[in-house]
Amino acid sequence: MTLLLALSLFASALLSQDETYLGQLVRKEGKSLEFVIRPAVEWQSIDKLVAKSDLIAFATVGTALGASITADGNDVRTDYRIQLKEIVFASDTETRAADSELTLSQLGGTAPVAGHTVTTKHVPLGPLEPGSNVLLLLRRVDEKYRIVNEYFGIFVVREGIATPASTNAFDQTYRSGKPLPDVLNEISAALAKRKK
């Protein structure tokens, strides 16, 4: 496959998903392409996020392990090492324990394509910050985990306040953060509904 064809296919794949992604080539410099992705996603309630979760846990974000083009060739994903601190919920099929590690695969990053580099930046959620303490709502995909709804299942926890890591389309009551006990009460209520 020629370089031009490979890059053209990647760009077309990103730009053709108009219902899910609004990708825009924002920079082409030498052998580098940078796309900004503005997904058409809406905030979902804590109930809906919890309903989709296989694992809910407090954790610390570790280092980025690397990035690669997705299997369908439509995006880039970056893998992060995550150190679990406390498990809030684990589905019946989930065997993770506190003080264990897992790999979180997040949309966006920089990866090689046919001798070039392609960067995708997802507007709602930037790269994770190593060392940050977070509350994660995750779903398992093969041996890795993804943030529920790709953007909304992650809260940065500082000084007892849980603030969404996502920058847009978030419920107004959450935008500036909520006391952690309030968030945990909502998650507990959603878990109780899930068990019915």
Q: What is the DSSP string of 81-132?
A: EEEEEEEEEE-TT----TT-EEEEEEE-EEEEETTEEEEEEETTS----TT-
Q: What is the pLDDT of residue 26?
A: 66
Nearest to 164 by CA among 151, 176, 155: 155
CA separation for the pair 125, 116 (Å, rounded): 24
pLDDT at position 39 over 70 = yes
The pLDDT score that the predictor gives to residue 23 is: 58
Sequence-ordered list of residues with C-beta below 8 angstroms from that of 30, at least 6 positions apart, any chain = none
Q: Tell whether pTM > 0.95.
A: no
- pLDDT, residue 6, reads 46
If you search the block for the tokens 């394509």, which residue do you land on? 113
Number of domains composing the chain: 1
Average confidence (pLDDT) over 154-169: 85
Asked if 118 contacts 9 with a C-beta cutoff of 8 angstroms, the reply is no
Whether residue 129 is predicted with pLDDT greater than 60 in this model: the reply is yes
Q: What is the per-residue pLDDT for 115?
A: 81
**CATH code where residue 170 lies:** 2.40.50.120
Domain hosting residue 99, numbered range:
3-195
